[in-house]
Structure 1
Amino acid sequence: MDVLAVLNLGEFAQIFSKMGMFPVFDLAYYIVSILYLKYEPGSVEVSRRSPVASWLCAMLYCFGSYILADVMLGGCPIDYFQHNSHILLASAVWYLIFYCPLNLFYKCVAFLPVKLVLVALKEVVRTRKIAAGVHHAHHAYHHGFFIMIIMGYVKGSGVALMSNFEQLLRGIWRPDTNEILNMSFPTKASLYGAILFTLQEAQWLPVAKSTLILAFTLFMATSKVVMTARHSHGSPFALIESWVCYVLFGSALAGSEEDHHHPPAVPATPVKTKEELGEGARRRKVKKAE
């Protein structure tokens, strides 16, 4: 018996989990992904200077998770490009966002109420990708629980993990933006979601897969809509993560390392006032005259 069966969500969760993503949800995913690409510095200039490089960056933003997952599982990195309908739809979105006259399409999808709806729809696709990645890895490595987590994590945040490679296509190299070093909320949520779906796949979590998909989708969509509406880059996990890091890793670790690596402070040179400087100059003149 499922934990959430008392809420009578089983039938609705089943319908929701079997709902097709193409074309409505996938279209929203492509729009939001390429919209974020246009926010990146230099992306508009690249689209004018080299449309091919701009198109490749857009495809990485839309299909980077599939490409990275195929590479890690030993498949062909361009295997997903056989889905012509998805490629054409994403290419149409890329063209309209970057080259539509008067930026009309960009202004429409960047309008906050419209953007909030698109962001919520995108999180539906993200959750499905996490669940699909864990399920795929479960068939390939039946007892490889860490591989299931990795594949779900990659499927959910592969675009962010490939951001440094995408930057090279735009002629930018910013290693300090490595997603592993500076994990954003979607990346962290994808990791936590991959752990949950792995536990469910291993039958260690007494929740039906359809119910877990529905619950995690509601959490992701609500969190992202609130964060987008408030223009926030924080994380709902910040309080829990700070407490866990304090308990497991200690708060003195960072401070001790800073004290170890930083050189000792050099005592500051006292600054002389104008009266002292004037008095010194007068004394030098008297001494010189003598």
Structure 2
Amino acid sequence: MHSQWDELTFAFSRTSMFPFFDIAHYLVSVMALKRQPGEVAMAWKNPLSSWFTAMLHCFGGGILSRLLLAEPPLMFLADNTNILLASSIWYVIFFCPCDLVSRGYSFLPVQLLAEGMKEVTRTWKIVNGVTHANHYYKNGWMVMIAIGWVRGAGGSIIVKFAQLVKGCWKPEADEWPKMSYSAKVTLLGSVIFTFQQTKNLAIPRHALMFLYTMFLVVTKITMMITGTDVTPFACFEDTLFRILFGWQQRFSSCEKRSETESSLSGTGSPTSKPIADASNKVQKKHTKKTD
């Protein structure tokens, strides 16, 4: 049983992403671009700008990771096969007669299949980013985590930069401090594979790749079927927030309450002052009657 598990996970880790998984990644990325307001009109008006933005959606993580490692950012253009494949998908999505590709993608089973295959490519990107950074910075944990994270989910930053260059970026519409589910799960995977790379996690890489990929695929498909935005990290994040930062809020609230009570005790409460004035008047009237 153990040998069968090893054979399964090892064969899975040797799975080639080209061409089917890469096609799914390009399809999902370009469809996400097409859903943005004004992108269809931009493609018809300025196809070169639309193509360039689509390439950033498809290869943005690799471009940003190479920039951080001081490598040529345009190295992705040297892969002629993938560039032609991504360009073909961009062309049929935006310019297919009767919009047949987008209509076919609108069916839920097709979206589930494409999104699931895209999550598989996320694992490969994280692992490649971590191992690539390890060549430059041996056992440099933070660098390996950063490059793996960027390689898997850094395309959105490059896309925002492209929108800024084109003049259609709206800062008020973006919540930069708020991490998306993809960014969170990619950061988690980058940390896990970095620990495995530095021999601090006693599990074979092929088994870890299989387990992490299954987690990505099942979680993504479940979220799409149920139509919920609640991530599996919500409970963990809330608990961790209460442990790390909740006591500080309670401490500050107790300080404010004690300051308020001390100020009221020093100046007298506003409700006690009229009562005290009324009692003084009664005492004065009583003394006048006795006199």
1:19 matched to 2:15? The reply is yes
Give, in angstroms, the shift of residue 208 of structure 1.
0.4
Task: Name the CA distance, whole Å, in 2 between partners of 1:235 and 1:201.
Answer: 27
Q: What residue number does 1:142 align with?
A: 138
Give, in angstroms, the shift of residue 22 of structure 1.
0.5
Q: What residue number does 2:216 align with?
A: 220
Task: Name the CA distance, whole Å, in 1 between partners of 2:164 and 2:236.
Answer: 35
Deviations 1:213-270 (A, max 9, x none): 101100111111112223333311111111101111227659x79xx9xxxxxxxxxx
Check the 8 A contact 1:97/1:106 in 2, yes or no.
Answer: yes
Aligned residues: 254
What fraction of aligned residue pairs are identical, expressed as a percent? 38
Closer, same or farther: CA 28–70 of 1 in aligned 2, 3 Å: same
Greater helix fraction, Structure 1 or Structure 2:
2
Closer, same or farther: CA 188–180 of 1 in aligned 2, 3 Å: farther
Closer, same or farther: CA 78–194 of 1 in aligned 2, 3 Å: same
Task: Name the CA distance, whole Å, in 1 between partners of 2:44 and 2:225.
Answer: 30
Check the 8 A contact 1:34/1:94 in 2, yes or no.
Answer: yes
Task: Name the CA distance, whole Å, in 1 between partners of 2:242 and 2:175.
Answer: 22
Task: Name the CA distance, whole Å, in 1 between partners of 2:95 and 2:192.
Answer: 41
Closer, same or farther: CA 25–148 of 1 in aligned 2, 3 Å: same
Task: Name the CA distance, whole Å, in 2 between partners of 1:77 and 1:159.
Answer: 13
Q: What residue number does 2:169 align with?
A: 173
Q: What residue number does 1:54 align with?
A: 50
What RMSD, in angstroms, separates the aligned Cα atoms of the two structures? 2.2
Structure (1 or 2) with the larger CA radius of gyration? 2
Q: What residue number does 1:208 align with?
A: 204
Q: What residue number does 1:246 align with?
A: 242
Q: Which amino acid aligns with 1:81?
A: L
Task: Name the CA distance, whole Å, in 2 between partners of 1:252 and 1:35.
Answer: 44
Equivalent of residue 88 in structure 1, options 76, 84, 103: 84
Task: Name the CA distance, whole Å, in 1 between partners of 2:197 and 2:243.
Answer: 29
Task: Name the CA distance, whole Å, in 2 between partners of 1:166 and 1:229.
Answer: 32
Task: Name the CA distance, whole Å, in 2 between partners of 1:171 and 1:46.
Answer: 13
